[in-house]
């Protein structure tokens, strides 16, 4: 019997050492992180599952958004990404990966915490791509706070605007443009199910996203539009080094999971591809956990 030499131990397949302490101003740049997150730049291989489709991805400059953008392009989709102006350099790198896959890349900078920008974002992406088939609501704001009495209203409002209100604004603008077969994919978190005490406002938004996803899915199912969510666990992205967690917790980031390490953005790309493709045609109102073993139910 031949031994299968292609399987890799998931505990050691990606970076699994302690992370060095590092701090960036919000929102942070992936290009300045050490080690760099793995977004599948050198590993993701497409098979044409999204050929001819047109996708809009928020937060597509880096992290999970970049991994999804690379995967979608290599699966045959044209991709528009949104990002904050401060993330322009990361966004241009992502755009180059999309172009290298032979697909169109559209860059739309702006703040999804602003209602008018969300409306313009959908309209611009629809026009530039000639339509929309996939919307990935991925961008998020995460700032840790150890004490609710010191959690200021400006941070609270901004976190909900970016993480939750933007989904209402984008969905409201996009639904008149979407045709049967279109998909919407939101990004929740393990924090919706196992909230951390230092991420009170962030965890609350991620719980809201689960409810939003399931309710919207039921509302639009009769139109042939599916809505699902992905719930990542601890994933190595710029969120973590730009105020998303306390500096003294960075070295052990992700080591408290059953997998004993943090995840990499590349490990989520396949789930986003599956939910955008016809392979998941009977799946809606679901949340897919990619959590390293910290279950969502």
Q: How many CB atoms lie within 10 A of CB 212?
A: 20
Q: Which residues pair with 136 in a beta bridge?
A: 57, 185
Query: In terms of residue numbers, what domain contains 197?
Result: 47-288
pLDDT of 5 above 90 = no
Average pLDDT, the chain: 96
Annotated catalytic sites, by residue? 202
Q: Is residue 109 part of a domain?
A: yes
| pLDDT value at residue 31 | 97
Q: Is residue 167 part of a domain?
A: yes
Between CA 222 and CA 218 the distance in angstroms is: 8
Per-residue model confidence (pLDDT) at position 2: 45
Q: What is the pLDDT of residue 297?
A: 79
pLDDT per residue as tens digits for the range 182-212: 999 999 999 999 999 999 999 999 999 999 9
In a domain, 111, yes or no: yes
138 pLDDT higher than 50:
yes
Peptide bond into 109 cis (omega under 30): no
- Give residue-wise pLDDT tens across range 210-251: 999 999 999 999 999 999 999 999 999 999 999 999 999 999
Decide: 38 and 287 in contact? Cβ < 8 Å: no
Q: What is the structure's pLDDT at 7? A: 87
Domain assignment present for residue 180? The answer is: yes
- Structural domains of the chain, count: 1
| Burial class of residue 13 in the structure, from the number of CB atoms within 10 Å of its CB (0-12 exposed, 13-18 middle, 19+ buried) | middle
Q: Answer whether residue 171 is part of any domain.
A: yes
Query: CB–CB of 134/276 below 8 Å?
Result: yes
The domain that contains 266 carries what CATH number? 3.40.50.720
pLDDT confidence of residue 1 = 38
Contact 76, 133 (CB under 8 A): no
Percentage of the chain exceeding pLDDT 70: 98
For residue 282, what are the contacts with CB-CB under 8 A and spacing of at least 6?
Answer: none
Residue 4 pLDDT greater than 70, yes or no = no
Domain-embedded: residue 110: yes
Determine contact, residues 122/173, Cβ cutoff 8 Å: yes
Residue 16 resides in a domain: no
User: Residue 180 — very low, low, confident or very high, per pLDDT cuts 50/70/90?
Assistant: very high
- Strand locations in the chain (E): 54-58, 78-83, 105-109, 134-137, 183-187, 226-232, 287-290
* Share of residues in the chain with pLDDT > 90 (%): 97
Q: Is the confidence at residue 141, as pLDDT, over 70?
A: yes
The verdict on residue 229 lying in a domain is yes
């Amino acid at each position: 019997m031949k031994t299968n030499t292609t399987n890799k131990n998931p505990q050691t397949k990606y970076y699994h050492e302690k992370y060095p302490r590092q701090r960036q101003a919000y929102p942070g740049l992936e290009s300045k992180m050490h080690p760099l997150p793995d977004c599948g730049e050198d590993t993701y291989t497409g098979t044409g599952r999204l050929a001819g489709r047109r996708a809009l991805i928020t937060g597509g400059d880096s992290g999970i958004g970049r991994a999804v953008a690379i995967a979608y392009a290599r699966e045959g989709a044209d991709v528009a990404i949104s990002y904050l102006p401060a993330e322009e350099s990361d966004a241009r790198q992502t755009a180059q990966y999309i172009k290298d896959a032979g697909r169109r890349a559209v860059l739309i900078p702006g703040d999804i915490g602003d209602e008018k920008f969300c409306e313009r974002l959908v309209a611009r992406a629809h026009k530039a791509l000639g339509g929309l088939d996939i919307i990935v609501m991925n961008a998020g704001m995460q700032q840790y706070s150890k004490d609710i009495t010191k959690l200021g209203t400006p941070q609270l409002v901004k976190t909900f605007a970016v993480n939750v209100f933007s989904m209402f604004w984008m969905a409201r603008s996009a639904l008149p443009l979407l045709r049967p077969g279109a998909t919407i994919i939101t990004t929740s978190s393990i924090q919706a199910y196992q909230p951390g005490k230092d991420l009170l406002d962030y965890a609350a938004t991620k719980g809201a996203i689960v409810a939003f996803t399931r309710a919207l899915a039921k509302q639009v199912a009769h139109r042939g539009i599916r809505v699902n969510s992905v719930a990542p666990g601890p994933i190595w992205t710029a969120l973590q080094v730009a105020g998303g967690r306390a500096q003294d917790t960075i070295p052990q980031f992700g080591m408290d999971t059953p997998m004993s390490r943090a995840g990499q953005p590349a490990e989520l790309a396949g789930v986003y591809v599956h939910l955008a493709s016809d392979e998941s045609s009977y799946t809606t109102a679901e949340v897919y956990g990619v959590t390293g073993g910290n279950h969502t139910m």
